[in-house]
């Protein structure tokens, strides 16, 4: 924002308290992510809106088409239902429908993820819905370092970027350089390198898979763990190359399974790297149910390292 005054923030309570008699920057977003920016940049660039998602997301889309670089915050991705048209039919399609005559440098930040017992309407991971829509880019960082690099990339990108932040990770601590750096979309990162099996994941699931990888290593199973970083664009090459080497694929994803992101990766590999596959593709996802409130059920719902290990064991056992 210091670098470019066309960058603005817009959303509900991203300052928190605008126009009130108490502290004007009381919240900085529901998780305090944007706290302090109001004080530095003022109400003209850190804009608290009424609770009207269709309208303020649409405002961000219109602003992006006319020269600003808005970062809109949708709080929870579950609220996509309240502004979906502006994403599905406007932001995603403008450039194409208008024959390439417009850019859409828009970022929409939103929380995803279960684990807080926030129940069915505040815990979803809806990246598959957005990945299905041509014209959008979809990103989900797996660490503070990744978050910074991918967010700066998102802000400088000229396409609409849907930026998912797992709500369980706001307290994660990690090395983050002070200076600016960007991480390009569509280039996966190898967390670990092993020749027995390929594991693909995204966001918080990468860390959870890494725990599984550590366990597996004790049993001499060496896994390549790929952090995909963005689902659209997707680094198909890195996935397929790894499967060519390992012959086995496990995908871990927190979204619903049907027409989900795990299925997406599985299908790509089943069509593009079939020859290399030595075992069925295993997908570790939640069941196809809404997200339950009770912690015991929610733990049952979420993927966990044990399930990743079971899936790896299954693909390793196949055909042996």
Partner 1 sequence: MQLNREDLHDAYRRMVLVREFENQIHRLNEKGELPGFIHLSAGQEASCVGICMNLQEDDYITSTHRGHGHVLAKGCDLVEMMDEVFAKRTGICHGKGGSMHMADLEKGILGANGIVGAGVPLAAGAALTSKTLGKDSISVVFFGDGAYNEGATLETMNLAKVLNLPLLFALEDNGWGEATPSSYAIGGDILKRAEGFGIPAQAVDGHDYCAVYEAAGDMISQIRAGGGPRFLHLDVYRYFGHFEGDAATYRPKGEVEKHQKERDCIMILRAYIIESGLLAESDLHKIHKEVLSEVEAAVDHARKAPSPEASDILTNVYATY
Ligand X SMILES: Cc1ncc(C[n+]2csc(CCOP(=O)(O)OP(=O)(O)O)c2C)c(N)n1
Among the listed residues 39, 96, 174, 187, the single contact to partner 1 using CB under 8 A: 96
Report the candidate in 83, 14, 77 with the shortest Cα–Cα distance to residue 45. Answer: 14
Contact positions with partner 1 (CB under 8 A) in 278-297: 287-290, 292-297
- CA–CA separation, 125 and 72 (whole Å): 18
Q: In what order do the strands lie in the sheet with 161-166?
A: 46-48, 7-11, 69-76, 107-112, 161-166, 137-139, 230-232
Is 215 exposed, middle or buried (CB count within 10 Å of its CB: 0-12, 13-18, 19+)?
Answer: middle
Residues interacting with ligand X, by CB under 6 A? 12, 51, 53, 75, 79, 82
By C-beta, is 38 or 261 nearer to a copy of itself? 261
By C-beta, is 119 or 268 nearer to ligand X? 119
φ, ψ for residue 255, nearest 5 deg: -75, 170
By C-beta, is 157 or 210 nearer to partner 1? 157
By C-beta, is 34 or 256 nearer to a copy of itself? 256
Question: Does residue 268 bind a copy of itself (CB under 8 A)?
Answer: yes
Q: Which stretch binds partner 1 (CB under 8 A): 64-72, 204-212, 268-276, 310-318?
A: 64-72
- CA–CA separation, 301 and 310 (whole Å): 16
Beta bridge partners of 104: none
Measured CA angle at 87 (ends 263, 160), to 5 deg: 85
40: Cα separation from own chain's centroid: 28
Quote helix, strand, coil % in the chain, to nearest 5: 35, 15, 45
State the nearest-atom distance from the C-beta of 216 to partner 1, in Å.
25
Rg over alpha carbons for the chain, rounded to the nearest Å, is: 20
- Cβ atoms of 192 and 224 within 8 Å: the answer is yes
Helices (H) and strands (E) in the chain, counts: 11, 12
Among the listed residues 4, 85, 172, 187, the single contact to partner 1 using CB under 8 A: 85
- SS3 string, 57-102, reads HHHHHHHHHCCCEEEEEEEEHHHHHHCHHHHHHHHCCHHHHCCCCC
By C-beta, is 79 or 261 nearer to partner 1? 79
What does 101 bind: a copy of itself, ligand X, partner 1, none (CB cut-off 5 to 8 Å by kind)?
partner 1
What does 165 bind: partner 1, ligand X, a copy of itself, none (CB cut-off 5 to 8 Å by kind)?
none
Contact positions with a copy of itself (CB under 8 A) in 119-138: 119-121, 128-129, 131-135
Question: Does residue 23 bind partner 1 (CB under 8 A)?
Answer: yes
Contact positions with a copy of itself (CB under 8 A) in 224-253: 231-232, 234
**Does 122 participate in catalysis according to the annotation?**
yes
What does 59 bind: a copy of itself, partner 1, ligand X, none (CB cut-off 5 to 8 Å by kind)?
partner 1
Catalytic residues: 122
Positions that interact with a copy of itself (CB under 8 A): 78-82, 84-89, 92-93, 96-97, 119-121, 128-129, 131-135, 231-232, 234, 255-256, 258-264, 266-272, 274-275, 277, 279-283, 288-290, 292-293
């Amino acid at each position: 924002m210091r670098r470019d005054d066309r960058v603005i923030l817009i959303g509900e309570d991203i300052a928190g308290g605008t126009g009130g008699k108490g502290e004007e920057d009381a919240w900085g977003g529901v998780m305090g992510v944007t706290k302090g920016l109001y004080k530095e940049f003022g109400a003209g660039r850190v804009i608290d809106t009424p609770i009207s998602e269709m309208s303020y997301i649409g405002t961000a889309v219109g602003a992006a088409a006319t020269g600003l670089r808005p970062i809109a915050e949708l709080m929870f991705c579950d609220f996509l239902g309240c502004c979906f048209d502006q994403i599905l039919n406007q932001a995603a399609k403008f450039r194409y429908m208008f024959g390439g005559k417009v850019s859409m440098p828009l970022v929409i930040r939103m929380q995803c993820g279960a684990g807080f017992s926030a129940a069915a309407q505040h815990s979803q991971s809806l990246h598959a819905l957005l990945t299905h829509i041509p014209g959008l880019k979809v990103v989900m960082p797996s660490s503070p370092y990744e978050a910074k690099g991918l967010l700066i990339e998102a802000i400088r990108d000229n396409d609409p970027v849907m930026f998912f932040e797992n709500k369980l990770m706001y307290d994660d601590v990690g090395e983050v350089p002070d200076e600016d750096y960007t991480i390009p979309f569509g280039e996966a990162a190898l967390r670990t390198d092993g020749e027995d099996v390929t594991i693909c994941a995204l966001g918080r699931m990468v860390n959870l898979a890494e725990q599984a990888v550590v366990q597996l290593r004790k049993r001499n199973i060496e896994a390549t763990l790929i952090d995909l970083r963005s689902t659209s664009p997707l680094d198909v090459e890195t996935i397929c190359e790894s499967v060519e080497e390992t012959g086995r694929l496990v995908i871990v994803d927190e979204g619903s399974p049907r027409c989900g992101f795990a299925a997406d990766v599985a299908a790509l590999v089943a069509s593009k790297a079939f020859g290399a596959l030595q075992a069925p593709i295993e997908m570790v996802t939640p069941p196809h149910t809404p997200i339950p409130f009770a912690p015991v059920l929610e733990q049952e719902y979420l993927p966990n390292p044990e399930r990743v290990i079971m899936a790896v064991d299954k693909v390793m056992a196949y055909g042996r």
